[in-house]
Structure 1
Amino acid sequence: MLPLPEEIAAGLTAMGLPGTEGEPLTGGVSSDIWRVGDFCVKRALPKLKVAADWRAPVARNLYEARWLQRAGDAVPGAVPALLGQDAATGTLAMRFLPPEDHPVWKQRLREGHAEPGFARDVGRRLARIHAASARDPSCAAEFPTDAIFHAIRLEPYLLATARAHPDLAPRLEALVETTAATKRALVHGDVSPKNILCGPAGPVFLDAECAWWGDPAFDLAFCLNHLLLKCLWTPGATAGFLACFDALAAAHVADVDWEAPEALEARVAALLPGLLLARVDGKSPAEYVTQDPDKDRVRRVARALLLAPPTRLSAIRAAWAKELAA
């Protein structure tokens, strides 16, 4: 056990929670996270722990707490219980979920455990959170986070990639404009396998620092992107990862009731190639895509799909499968 950092200790005091010592937790790049007894506390960092100069407002911690509350109300059990939040120190506290019965989905995928049924549940729970917020107009006013979302999602992913591929800049910039202007539902913003626990009762979502009132297509595209890239990390499980891609996409789109499902799918299909390319040429490259041949595979598929945008996710899945089989 180590003494808690001053800001975290002050945040706990402000929230009325006990603790002066804890255990630092690893895995994130945007926050300091400590376990204190049966809960954990996190503090947003002004500069993310990546090679690029990537900064973000620490006020995002407040909106993460609000997302946790909204998501938990919409789908009980889909998030850890929120215990408190202190805006002055940029800290929040939530119930700690032990890894023995809540393994991280990313690690399960790394080990080749590709379970379409679990992926289907991710899609369903995510869609239920989107749908509940879309039905509640008061939700929008709680998330005035356009600037934060731009700083930690649109700029480091799509606009940074546009600078690396000047010929694609008009297409990537148009995706940014469309995404920023589409206001439909409450968005998590970082629906990645590293932020999803495999709980006994289903998926549990973590780390909603990018919470935003905007386009739910971003959440679906962001998660599906990871399932495509995992094929390069654990090639032996490629068929399973693609089956998870199909299951997650189908489950989410089937539960879309706030707009025409085909309209949302078209925006996801347009956005996904940009996010795919961003994971090799943006500010947050996938840490396991390190070999040049793999990076070139990503670039070939993503560039072709950006230049001739599909409207169906099945077209992206087919293009990726064809590249992997080549």
Structure 2
Amino acid sequence: MSNAAVPDRDLVHFVEVQGLTKPGVKARWQELAGGVSSDIWKVDLGDRTICVKRALPQLKVAAVWDAPVSRNAYEWAWMQFVSEHCPANVPAPIAQDVEAGLFAMAYLEPEDHPVWKQQLLAGEVDVGLAAAVGKVLGAIHAESAWRIDLAKRFDTIENFYALRLEPYLVATAARYPEVSAALLALVAQTAGTTHALVHGDVSPKNILAGPRGPVLLDAECAWYGDPAFDLAFCLNHLVLKAVVVPSRSAEFARSFMALMRSYLDQVGWEPAHEVQRRAAKLLPGLLLARIDGKSPVEYITDEQEKDRVRGFAVGLIKDPSQELSDICRRWF
């Protein structure tokens, strides 16, 4: 966290106009670190603490990565939907300014809501938490499946392409001619599948281990599309984090299977094996993307480890598996 930064006038004005401050009480602002796509602030209002988030037009990564700020409004809409159906699994939405690309939500104390990524990298691999993540994710997809109103509200394929498909799969295809056609076909398949409301960034860095279950954050990529993307995206992170905590490989493998099974148990909008088949094709593409795409994971730095991931991913892209359990067995 940074205490030195000062919020600009737009942020202060938002809090005042929304009536979130009390007369005579000076709001105390603290910038939160960790995000690459937004300004995020903790705001102490005296009687309560909130979090204010504003989307950035240029993401804070090494590669050039522009993204539409309209994603802030879709994240807000995603939070509203989830707060209706799974209120324990999302911060409570408080206020929004769609034109300024701003919203306020409840602030969750880190002492009670540790970040799942930090736990995993520290070797704290809770299989039960992984199962709970799969259950919540499946429930969100099940509640939103085949909803024409949501399909219209989250018709955001341009955002999703800019934030996910292009920087991950398209950019990686340009670096790997031998699997380029397969990766671009994966892009077309994913973009053309519209079954449920997708979060788009179900990563352990965006999941808090809350006292009432996992809390999902940062739905900037929200899109009415292929739910298999969310499943593959999260499982991908369990594979990658096992690389740097090899002593917990058995627990990572069990977490992979627990998350997958609890998710598939919720699938009723289409045959579960179809979701699994698409996720199994997506997973190796995402593995390769997190090594050589526009947003590589920062915690795998050893070239031998990177090559291990590359070889495994390229092999699966060339010869796809139909089952996630097969990928889990072969990796672990």
TM bracket (short chain): over 0.9
Matches for 1:58-97 after TM superposition, within 5 Å: 58-97=69-108
Q: Does residue 1:280 correspond to 2:291, yes or no?
A: yes
Contact 1:52 1:283 in 2 (8 A): yes
Name the counterpart of 1:11: 14
Q: Which runs of 4+ in 1 moved over 4 A?
A: none
Contact 1:102 1:197 in 2 (8 A): yes
Per-residue deviation at 1:72? 1.3
Listed one character per residue, the Cα deviations across residues 251-292 of structure 1 (whole Å, up to 9, x for unaligned) are 101110111000000000000000000011100001011111
CA, structure 1 residues 142+161, in 2 after alignment: closer, same or farther (shift >3 Å)? same
- Secondary structure (helix, strand or coil) at the match of 1:127 reads helix
- Secondary structure (helix, strand or coil) at the match of 1:3 reads coil
Contact 2:90 2:216 in 1 (8 A): yes
Separation in structure 2 between the aligned mates of residue 203 and residue 21 of structure 1, nearest angstrom: 28
**Aligned length in residues:** 321
Name the counterpart of 2:211: 200
Determine which of 167, 170, 176 is the counterpart of 1:159: 170
- Secondary structure (helix, strand or coil) at the match of 1:255 reads coil
Name the counterpart of 2:56: 45
Per-residue deviation at 1:6? 2.4
Q: What is the identity, as a one-letter code, of the residue corresponding to 1:33?
A: I
Listed one character per residue, the Cα deviations across residues 213-256 of structure 1 (whole Å, up to 9, x for unaligned) are 00000000000000000111212111111110010001101110
Q: What is the identity, as a one-letter code, of the residue corresponding to 2:71?
A: R
Contact 2:285 2:317 in 1 (8 A): yes
Q: Does residue 1:187 correspond to 2:187, yes or no?
A: no
Name the counterpart of 2:35: 28
Name the counterpart of 2:223: 212
Q: Does residue 1:174 correspond to 2:185, yes or no?
A: yes
Contact 2:146 2:195 in 1 (8 A): no
Separation in structure 2 between the aligned mates of residue 277 and residue 98 of structure 1, nearest angstrom: 34
Name the counterpart of 1:139: 150
CA, structure 1 residues 224+264, in 2 after alignment: closer, same or farther (shift >3 Å)? same
Q: Does residue 1:248 correspond to 2:286, yes or no?
A: no
Q: More displaced, 129-138 or 271-280?
A: 129-138
Superposition RMSD in Å: 1.2
Q: What is the identity, as a one-letter code, of the residue corresponding to 2:254?
A: A
Contact 1:4 1:21 in 2 (8 A): no
For normalisation by structure 1, the TM-score amounts to 0.96
Separation in structure 2 between the aligned mates of residue 135 and residue 54 of structure 1, nearest angstrom: 32
Q: What is the identity, as a one-letter code, of the residue corresponding to 2:94?
A: L
Name the counterpart of 1:125: 136
Q: More displaced, 60-69 or 106-115?
A: 106-115
- Secondary structure (helix, strand or coil) at the match of 2:89 reads coil
Contact 1:158 1:278 in 2 (8 A): yes
Separation in structure 1 between the aligned mates of residue 219 and residue 17 of structure 2, nearest angstrom: 22
Contact 1:3 1:21 in 2 (8 A): no
Per-residue deviation at 1:167? 1.5
Contact 2:276 2:324 in 1 (8 A): yes
Per-residue deviation at 1:20? 5.0
Separation in structure 1 between the aligned mates of residue 279 and residue 188 of structure 2, nearest angstrom: 14
- Secondary structure (helix, strand or coil) at the match of 1:84 reads strand
Q: What is the identity, as a one-letter code, of the residue corresponding to 1:12?
A: V
Separation in structure 2 between the aligned mates of residue 242 and residue 82 of structure 1, nearest angstrom: 35
Q: What is the identity, as a one-letter code, of the residue corresponding to 2:38?
A: S
Contiguous gaps of at least 5 residues in structure 2: none
Name the counterpart of 1:324: none
